[in-house]
Structure 1
Amino acid sequence: MPRCPLPAVPRIASRSSPRRGSITPVSKVDIVITFNLSDNPRIRPITFFISRKMDTLDNMRAFLATVRTGSFSEAGRQLGVSPSVITKRVGQLEWKMRGQLFNRSTRSVTLTDLGEQFLPRIAGLVADFDDTLGEMTKTRGGLLGRIRIKIPTTLGAPYLARVLTEFQQAHPQVLLDVVMLDRSVNPVEEGFDIVVGALPELYANVDDEWLAPYPRVVCAAPSYLEARGHPAHPRELTDHDCLVFTPSGALWQFENANGTVQVEVRSRFTSNSSRVLRTSAIAGNGITVLSAGMAAPALARGQLRTVLDGYRLPELALKALLPRTRGALPRVRALVDWLKRGLAENGDWSDEESL
């Protein structure tokens, strides 16, 4: 693509770090983004020229949306454009990169090796660009920008919705993108600023921060217990039908004063959704493990009863996974602190409204 003559203008750097990008307004037609890949001065930086004819930044956003959704159609819906626009933008970016970023088939869109290589760099460039614009335009003392956060459905959705809504009302210039998922998520690869979860996960370039304790209960419907009996010891679960949360697996662990007991339960019904497991348990389909907040309304109404009360499940902690390039951003930091306070004020995270 031909380059426009560049007038002498001051450079606006997003950070002092040599690995972050620098953004230079050039004219009404172009913006130049320079990205240093190494501290070694012998390695030349990559420069992107963004023009109205071929907006590299929009192309990068189309690429990231396609990675997140696995579909040109879903990426288009997420960005508010047609699938053909997404396809065109990704194609332009591939031309710019001199290589194919996606393997395309009629059923799926997956990253090529080149796409895997450039994913963290492109995500960093877009994030740095957004941060720089936010720093230049934010009002004094206010928070500005977009936060993409993943919340598990095991937390009470109505309660968390209130907490997040109150945060945005306190910071009206912050844009929240809330995604509810019950699976493990690498925030760097999937473009999240915050990933909330209780499963122990370790990812490169991701820090975790404690938010709150995460109590769980073993429970079943009265109808099931009347028909099949109450297990007195965890090992008796092998004679019962169990409803298993897929990410945690069928190996259940219990503790009491005598030590630890592990049991491989019979998985009559599995799901990656705690709400699905709760509905199945209420219907008398078996014994399951739920978060205290997810089980609380059904326990209060007598739809579920706890079992194995002489044993406890290992303690888990609810954590926020934060990409190291994002965790220190003021808006991200503010939301993490807000979540801590909100979870502390409502320790059981009751999911009352969803029943």
Structure 2
Amino acid sequence: MDTLRALSAFVHSVELGSLSGAARALDTTQPTISKLVAGLERSLGVRLLRRAATGLSLTEEGQRFHERARRVLEDYGDAVADAREQVQQPQGLLRVSAPVTMGQRHLNAMAVEFLRLYPDIELELVLDDRFVDPREERIDVSLRVGGALPPDLVAKHLGSWPRVLVASPDYIAARGKPRNPKDLLSHDYIRYAAGDDGVLLEGPEGAVTVPVRSRLRVNNAVAMLDSVLGGAGISLQPTWMVAGHLADGSLVRVLARHTGPAQEVHLLYAPRRHQPLRVRVLVDFLAERVAQLPGALRKPTQLSGKRR
């Protein structure tokens, strides 16, 4: 029996939740995966997986074996990577996930630049506003804008970007400029469809929450920004998204002494003693480029490690 191949079939089946998922990931057939896992079980003398119409589940023995099997495969991959990196340039496929707006506005251009620097690397960008689990969806690096950090992933902090209130010059000319947070009550405020009714601001007088009126609610950041540019109202936007519009005058700051909660940006990836060279160069590249996005509060910190 090809032990490494059988271990790979087992680990992929567990992490992808099905034999068919493992077959697709390993570019083989479901019967082949089934035979490999069955052969592994015979060689160990224990049952690792329960197979049912509703899916796969681990036996008690399988639960203990899975983590060790995954580490064996990672160690083997690390050894192969170490040997190859002595004579090779970074190469292979990288899958990168990011929120849609960050991807459209900045990450796509960074990806084009990265591919010019490393001609033997292929990139697949997965742009999605939901949380993408790197382990389950075979993602090498995730760019996370805000939100909770998973405890089992390495998080590299890239910086903090404040949110600022903005509006179009035409809107301000027609409706006037708010002088204090309470003035927002008489203005049209554009917010996320799933967001809170109130806007939290930090200013000279401390923190204040204003129960703004939102006639327009949007579930997409690009559409929301387009609405603000079109004069539909005032919105709280991260500086990395609106710095260019503020510079060219297509947007103006509202309540310039007040800011909303800052957006924290991290790179997430699975903890491994030895990351493939292609992953390491991508992490270094994105850490440098993302930190240069306009409006950052401070420079990025060092590698933060797993959060617990």
TM-score greater than 0.5 by the shorter chain: yes
CA-to-partner distance for each residue in 1:60-117, whole Å, 9 max, x for gaps? 4898499xxxxx9xx9xx98x9xxx98x5799599964414857xxxxxxxx766xx9
Instruction: Letter of the 1:32 partner, please give it.
Output: T
Unmatched 5+ residue regions in structure 2?
39-48, 297-308
Post-superposition offset of 1:158: 5.6
Q: Secondary structure at the match of 2:209?
A: strand
Q: Is the 8 A contact 1:64 1:123 kept in 2?
A: no
Map of 1:198 onto structure 2 = 145
Unmatched 5+ residue regions in structure 1?
5-30, 34-47, 67-71, 104-111, 350-355
Map of 2:120 onto structure 1 = 173
Map of 2:290 onto structure 1 = 343
Map of 1:331 onto structure 2 = 278
Post-superposition offset of 1:262: 2.0
Q: Does 1 or 2 have the higher relative contact order (CA < 8 Å, sep 6+)?
A: 2
Q: How does 1:103-114 map to 2 (within 5 A)?
A: none
Post-superposition offset of 1:184: 3.5
Distance 1:223 1:270, change over 3 A: same
TM-score (norm 2): 0.68
TM-score (norm 1): 0.61
Q: Residue 261 of structure 2 is aligned with which of 298, 309, 314?
A: 314
Map of 2:225 onto structure 1 = 278
Map of 1:49 onto structure 2 = 6
Post-superposition offset of 1:333: 2.7
Q: CA RMSD in A?
A: 4.4
Post-superposition offset of 1:137: 4.3
Matched, 1:208 2:164: no
Distance 1:188 1:63, change over 3 A: closer
User: 1: distance between equivalents of 2:17 and 2:238?
Assistant: 31
User: 1: distance between equivalents of 2:208 and 2:36?
Assistant: 54
Q: Is the 8 A contact 1:151 1:180 kept in 2?
A: yes
Q: Is the 8 A contact 1:212 1:340 kept in 2?
A: no
Mean CA deviation greater in 277-286 or 139-148: 139-148
Map of 1:32 onto structure 2 = 3
CA-to-partner distance for each residue in 1:5-58, whole Å, 9 max, x for gaps? xxxxxxxxxxxxxxxxxxxxxxxxxx322xxxxxxxxxxxxxx638xxxx948x
User: 1: distance between equivalents of 2:276 and 2:94?
Assistant: 10
- The structure in which a higher percent of residues are helix is 2
Q: Residue 296 of structure 1 is aligned with which of 243, 250, 269?
A: 243
Map of 2:181 onto structure 1 = 234
User: 2: distance between equivalents of 1:273 and 1:214?
Assistant: 19
Instruction: Letter of the 1:49 partner, please give it.
Output: A
Map of 2:191 onto structure 1 = 244
Distance 1:158 1:310, change over 3 A: closer
Q: Residue 205 of structure 2 is aligned with which of 252, 258, 281?
A: 258
